[in-house]
Amino acid sequence: MSHAAAVWDTLQKLRACRPLIQNITNYVVMNNTANALLAIGASPAMVHASEEVEEFVSIAHALVINIGTLSPSWVTGMRLAAAHARTLGKPWVLDPVGAGATPLRTSTALQLLGMKPAVVRGNASEILALSEANRATRGVDSMDSSSSALESGKKLARSFETVVTISGAIDYVTDGERVLHVENGHEMMTRVTGMGCTATAIIGAFLAVQQDPLLAAAQAMAVLGVAGEIAATRAAGPGSLQLHLLDVLYTLDEQSISAVRIS
């Protein structure tokens, strides 16, 4: 089966199952990621309190943990949820937003990375920071190209037995041995806040219906990239791009999915 056919297959499963995706994510993107998950056919829930995260994990099909707008009181809920997901064998994905920018972020991300996420997705600066753990990044936007982080990402994937996804002009998805390249997307997407967070959330949704986390991550990145490409052709700027992206995710058909470029 071609990558395009496999992506279309996963997307159809997702729409049929409407998996419940639990998100412990940041204030900036909660609305966008919920809308992206709804548009693509999943059922999102934003549930973070330590008093209920474990019960919620037990009804969710996959879990997304994102450390943007981090505060220590949220880390407790993140850890409880991740541990419970691992216990129940439910897949979860980590977004280490701003890892490297401050010690709080780097140490929190590493701690969570040790709790067996199926996938971790970050930009090159974040992945490099996690790998080197002593490297400073600059804010939350990446200063490094995704290829420069590939070797670090492979090492990280092997150390933590996870799939590392490095977002960039080309996205790299690796389990430490295999490497998939995703060449979809549009430059204007970098001008919409939380696009990386949306990618991570969609990886969460794909993990619910695609057993192989390497494929789930690559397919999710490709789908968001294709949607971004189509949306960009209709957009006059980042405001309308964000809007069209949701419309496109909602209406993606086999024809548009044929534009995925995974290799």
Number of residues counted as binding a second copy (CB under 8 A): 62
Torsion sign, CA atoms 259, 220, 140, 234: positive
Long-range contacts of residues 31-36, Cβ cutoff 8 Å, at least 24 apart:
32/193, 32/194, 32/197, 32/198, 32/242, 33/64, 33/194, 33/197, 33/198, 33/200, 33/201, 35/246, 36/198, 36/201, 36/202, 36/245, 36/246, 36/249
The minimum distance between CB 150 and a second copy, in angstroms, equals 24
Euclidean distance between CA atoms 76 and 144, whole angstroms = 31
Nearer to a second copy, 51 or 254 (CB): 51
Strand 92-95 versus strand 62-66 pairing type: parallel
Residues 24-63 that bind a second copy (CB under 8 A): 26-32, 34-35, 38-39, 43-49, 51-52, 55-56, 59-60
Taking CB under 8 A as the criterion, the residue among 251, 254, 258, 263 binding a second copy is 251
CB of 174 to a second copy, least distance (A): 27
* Class of residue 198 by CB neighbours under 10 A (exposed 0-12, middle 13-18, buried 19+): buried
Instruction: Phi first, then psi: give them for residue 214, nearest 5 degrees.
Output: -65, -45
Give the integer Cα–Cα distance in Å for 250 and 25: 22
Q: Is residue 20 near a second copy by the rule CB under 8 A?
A: yes
CB of 28 to a second copy, least distance (A): 4
Q: CB-wise, 29 or 262, nearer to a second copy?
A: 29
If one asks whether residue 1 binds a second copy (CB under 8 A), the answer comes out as no
Minimum CB–partner distance for residue 263 and a second copy (Å): 29
Q: Which region, judged by CB under 8 A, interacts with a second copy, from 152-160, 171-179, 200-208, 243-251?
A: 243-251
111 makes contact with a second copy (CB under 8 A) = no
Contact flag: residue 199 with a second copy (CB under 8 A): no
Binding residues (CB under 8 A) for a second copy: these are 20, 26-32, 34-35, 38-39, 43-49, 51-52, 55-56, 59-60, 68-72, 98, 101-105, 136, 138-141, 190-194, 235-240, 242-251
